[in-house]
Structure 1
Amino acid sequence: MAIGKLFIGRKVRELRLEHDATQSQFAERLGISLSYLNQIENNQRPVSAAVLLALADKYGLDIAELSTGETDRLMSALTEALGDPLFESYSPTLQELKLIAQNAPGFARALVSCHQAYRRNSEQLASLDDRLGRAAALEATPYDEVRDFFHYVDNYVQELDTTAEALALKLGLQGGDGQPILTDYLDSQFSVRVVHGPSAMNAVRRYDPAGRVLTLNPYAPAETRTFQMAVQVAQLYASEAVENIVRQAGFRSEEAGEVCRIGLHNYFAGALLMPYQGFLKTARDLRHDIELLAARFGTSLEQVCHRLSTLQRPGMKGIPIFFARIDRAGNITKRHSATKLQFARFGAACPLWNAHQAFETPGRFIRQLAETPDGARYLCLATHVSKGVGGFRTQRSSHALALGCEISYASAFVYADDLNVTDKSAFEPIGISCRICERSNCASRAVPPLRRSISVDHNVRETTPYQLS
């Protein structure tokens, strides 16, 4: 077999010590210089084919055992661990990782184990934090800090929502194609000219503050261009309100403040295109048919789902729902829940959840009657969406949108009409995340729950190789 460059210093050193030989004695028997042996043992130089053969002939080294697989796996684990924001001040080079993995594999495994323990504890604390409703802000990243901000204000920002609704009523934005209205408003109120042209080909929206020109990508979907015009209105019309909210939020970094500004501008845009009272009434009249709502307000499916999750105005609340956006890897990139169902902050979503099936059936709404370990039952909806602003060679993002409500509200959704919500056997068991799910008989379990010990019976093999004690 072909053997590439091998850095096996630890193995050579162990072999030498096993034979109780000094470096000088070992080098002499191998027919190499003392300096070369020293460099080999410190992984400064790879072993040559001649040295490999000498090690095999004189010391019984099994060349077939010299696989780099274990080192590669250890380097991968180290890279993942050191990529955590916890180590943001340290970025190791590839050479440093190689030296650690090859020369001190025990230390490397200990570091990986410590990091895994840290993440498990963080996940457990995050779960408890969600249950107690305390905004402890355990995660260090600005993105997650902002996501928690929206989560703990119940995904409803009163000042922006009412301001956007008042402006929508003033402009006559009550659904349909809002582009002509927003174009005229930006021009008359802010002297901003809206064009659709090549200067935004690599972006959905590009604004030139000096020239006061807003350029939109002509190949973006109409609802995307309309939404970006509404975002521009938010930046110009609601800037003072946005700054007040960011200042009062007390974020720990400027980056978090910037990310929050994006979220607040998007919030205002959604509230402008789908003004609260009109949208709430229409949602009820259409029985939350997401496709009809999108057509009625000239918005995308994702924009409708997101807006439904913000209907938390005191005294005028909509149906309490959960909403999440999930990528193909199972990462939850958007999440909010006004129900008892809460999303785990670490790890992927439950594999039994119908959201994952949406990628297999694009263009359709997948329905699921589901029950969580606490006995709560839900109507779960999922559909696949794809985003792109160009032609054949343009990269496209792909997500599943997941939406649902507790089963007591199912009659308000057109999707439940032919489902037997009274049949207990029709509900599929789902969880939140394997690490915090207590189900003991799940064939799809990836890892044991954090607070349960396991037992192994080598004479019995069930769906998992262990049983929960």
Structure 2
Amino acid sequence: MTTQKLYAGVKLREIRTGRGLTQKDFAGRLGVSLSYLNQMENNHRPVSTGVLLALAREFGFDVTELSVGEAERMTADMREALADPVFAEAPPLAELRLVASNAPGLARAFLALHRAHRQQSEQLVSLNEALGTEGSALAPLPWEEVRDFFHYCDNYIDAVDRAAERFAGSLAGGDRLAAMADRLQADHGIALQIRLDAPLRHYDPASRRLTLAAEAGPATQWFQAAHQLALVAHDDLLEATLDLARFRTDTAREICKIGLANYFAGAALLPYGRFLAAAQEARHDLDRLALVFGASIEQVAHRLSTLQRPGAKGVPFFFVRVDQAGTITKRHSATRLQFARFGSACPLWNVHRAFEAPGRWLRQLAETPDGVRYLCLARDVSKPGRDFHAPVRRYAIALGCEVAHAGALTYADDLDLNRGFEPIGVSCRICERTDCHQRALPPMDRPIRIDPDDRGALPYRLD
């Protein structure tokens, strides 16, 4: 296994300048020499354990904020972009990490430029209408822009999360949906009704009537009611958050507002402090947590991946949902594992086998090409239609953490965490493995050699 060194020059400078300290004074408080501090601030040396302890002791700083999460996400995104054939040769991984840590603005600008190039190329082959590109080819697709917003926020929006937690704490006990209906009526004059053959959620502003589908489960009904309450009661908060995001198009802003209302609903259904404590007590048993909080398995899994509140973080999980074609429809990672921005996930990952074992948790010990090992859980979460003739929406979810945290999960109790790790990757386009029997495409940053007289598991060899 490899150990990731922590380079955090930008964050160190923010801490120092935010407190009005000179480099000399800051170095003294940290107990290091001036030259050593200068090297750390310029990412020429990693942050040591002694410096981390001094930051916590001297400044009360939550050192978990110095995680490599965002830098690693941008590194993975740049690495995938640089696998594009337009680039003759990709810079070394160490250089990409240096850029992501020391110049994150430049990294984001590069990713935006590559995205523009990709979209323009798609236009040149007459695919822009099929892909739904809005306006100029230089603008990112609205869905991509919103996805990246949540991705780089660690899928945790503090102000919205805390507002949802306060709302959940103010509700009366007993029948949860009845309490929600009472609050909507008393505070906002909104009447809640549940009807057969109604849309999942429909709100009529003129009559101030919210209609929910009777076919939906109680957790979904409550979630949809909380979504509408967020739009009505916390519109100013949502709009302020959208202002900070600076989306390029109105469409992206509208999509993100729906996402923020969903975030509020999920955080209200599973309030941060109470849910974190219950998750730790239950050792992250998702079935038990779903029963305690009256939520779905998918809601619980997604919420576990958002427990990134500074000073009260949970186990760092990744979460993903895929359809039967392997297309990623939801994704988030608080771990070093980053998902492909384009295309499908690695076929060796157990999430693809979940469709074959409905209602069961599948466990997998997996290792990525960088040597990091994970405990991966997968399960199908297919959504039946409202009648016999309605189509079934089939999805599978995966949740996982690095093996270092596996002891906090009940699912690891009978596993040998020292061996039996299956090799997985991010996507075939950027995977480094040369001996994968499931490879669908050659890596875009490696030349291939074709020998008509020699055929192995693949019809080519990687140089």
Asked if 2 retains the 8 angstrom alpha-carbon contact of 1:156 and 1:310, the reply is: yes
Instruction: Report what 1:289 is aligned to.
Output: 285
Write the distance in 2 (CA, Å) between the matches of 1:241 and 1:442: 48
Partner residue, 2:194:
196
Task: Tell me the TM-score normalised to structure 1 length.
Answer: 0.70
Residue 261 of structure 2 is matched in structure 1 by: 265
Which residue identity does 1:164 align to in structure 2? A
What TM-score do you get using the length of structure 2 for normalisation?
0.71
Larger Rg: 1
CA–CA separation in structure 1 for the residues paired with 2:424 and 2:347: 8
- More relative contact order in 1 or in 2 (CA 8 Å, sep 6+)? 2
Equivalences for 1:63-462 in 2 at 5 Å? 132=100, 134-135=107-108, 136-137=111-112, 138=115, 140-172=140-172, 178-198=176-196, 201=197, 203-423=199-419, 426-462=420-456
Q: Distance in 2 between matches of 1:323 and 1:240?
A: 29
CA gap of 1:215–1:407, structure 2 versus 1, over 3 A, is same
Alpha-carbon distance between aligned partners in 2 of 1:421 and 1:238, rounded to the nearest angstrom: 45
Q: Is 1:467 matched up with 2:455?
A: no
Listed as ranges, the matches of 1:6-85 within 5 Å are none
Q: What does residue 89 of structure 1 align with?
A: none
Alpha-carbon distance change, 191 to 224 in structure 1, aligned in 2, over 3 angstroms: same
**Which segments of 5 or more consecutive residues in structure 2 lack a partner in the other structure?**
1-80, 117-139
Structure 1 376/165 Cα, relative in aligned 2: closer, same or farther at 3 Å?
Answer: same
Alpha-carbon distance, 1:189 to partner = 0.8
Q: CA 1:442–1:286 in 2, change beyond 3 Å: closer, same or farther?
A: same
Gap change, CA 1:131 and 1:373, over 3 Å in 2: farther
1-structure distance, mates of 2:380, 2:151: 24
In 2, the alpha carbon distance for the partners of 1:331 and 1:453 equals: 27
Could you tell me which amino acid in structure 1 is paired with residue 302 of structure 2?
Answer: H
Kindly state the Cα deviation for residue 388 of structure 1 after the two structures are TM-superposed: 3.9
* Counterparts in 2 of 1:389 and 1:178: CA distance versus 1, 3 Å: farther
Show CA shifts across 1:215-274 (max 9, x none). Answer: 111111221111111111111111110001111111010000000001000000011111
Check whether the contact 1:204–1:389 (CA below 8 A) recurs between aligned residues: no
Deviations 1:7-29 (Å, cap 9, x if unpaired)? xxxxxxxxxxxxxxxxxxxxxxx
The alignment partner of 1:348 has SS state of coil
RMSD: 2.3
Aligned residues: 346
Point out 4+ residue stretches in structure 1 off by more than 4 angstroms: 116-122, 127-131
Q: Residue 311 of structure 1 contacts residue 317 of structure 1 at CA under 8 Å; is this kept in 2?
A: yes
How many percent identity over aligned positions?
A: 51
* 1:459 positional shift: 2.7
In the TM superposition, what is the alpha-carbon distance from 1:178 to its structure 2 partner? 2.1
Distance across 2 between alignment mates of 1:249 and 1:204: 28
**8 A contact 2:198–2:212 mirrored in 1:** no
In 2, Cα distance between the equivalents of 1:131 and 1:352? Answer: 31
